[in-house]
Amino acid sequence: MLRIKTKGIATAASQSLKWEQRLDRNALRLIRREANILRGDIVRGIRSQAPGGDKFLPLSPQTIRRKGSSKALIDRGDLIRSVNVSDFEGGKVIFVGVNRQEQDSEGNMLEDIAATHEYGSGPSASPQIPPRPFLRPAFREWLKVGPPRFAQDLAKSMGVA
C-alpha cells in the first residue's frame, strides 16, 4: 500500500498564497504612495514654475496684464486642484493627472486646458500659447527615483532586503 502525505504540500500552498496576498497588498500600497509622490511633484513644479527643473517660458506682457500675475498655469488654482490620483479597475490601474470630467470654475474642461499648456496651442490658434509642459518633466524626474525606491521599499516590506 502506498501512502502519500499531502500535509506538507497543503502547508506550502497555504504559505505561498499568504505570501502572494501580502505581496499584492504591499505593492498596491507602495504604488499608491508613488502615485501621490508624483502628484506632489507635479503640483510643486507648477507652483515653482519649473517642473522637473525646466523653467516655464515667460507669459506675454498682455497675459500678465490680463491676469495680474506672471505665474504660468496659475490663475484661480483650478488646474493645480485638478491634478489627481485615481484608482481604476479595483485599484489595479492608478492614474496620475487631470481627469477628463474636471472643469474649472467657469465650466471649461481642465483636460483641454492642461493639454494646451502641456503641448501648446498649435500654429492656427489665437491666442498662440507656447508649450509649458508640467506633466512630462515631473514624470521624467520621477522615473529616475520612483521605480528604484518602489523596488527597494517592496523588498523591505516583504523582509527580503
Question: pLDDT per residue over 80-101, tens digit each?
Answer: 999 999 998 877 789 999 988 9
Tell whether the torsion through CA atoms of 152, 156, 159 and 161 is positive or negative: positive
The model's pLDDT over 114-133, given as tens digits with 9 standing for 90+, comes to 999 999 998 888 888 999 99
Q: pLDDT band at residue 17, thresholds of 50, 70 and 90? A: confident
Can you give the pTM of this predicted structure?
A: 0.85
Q: Which cell numbers hold the place of 59?
A: 507669459
Residue 99: φ, ψ to 5°: -70, 150
CA 118 to CA 134: how far, in whole Å? Answer: 6
Closest by CA position to 158, among listed 19, 64, 48: 19
Rounded to a whole number of angstroms, the CA Rg of the chain reads 23
CA 135 to CA 99: how far, in whole Å? Answer: 13
The model's pLDDT over 43-82, given as tens digits with 9 standing for 90+, comes to 999 999 999 999 999 999 999 999 999 999 998 899 999 9
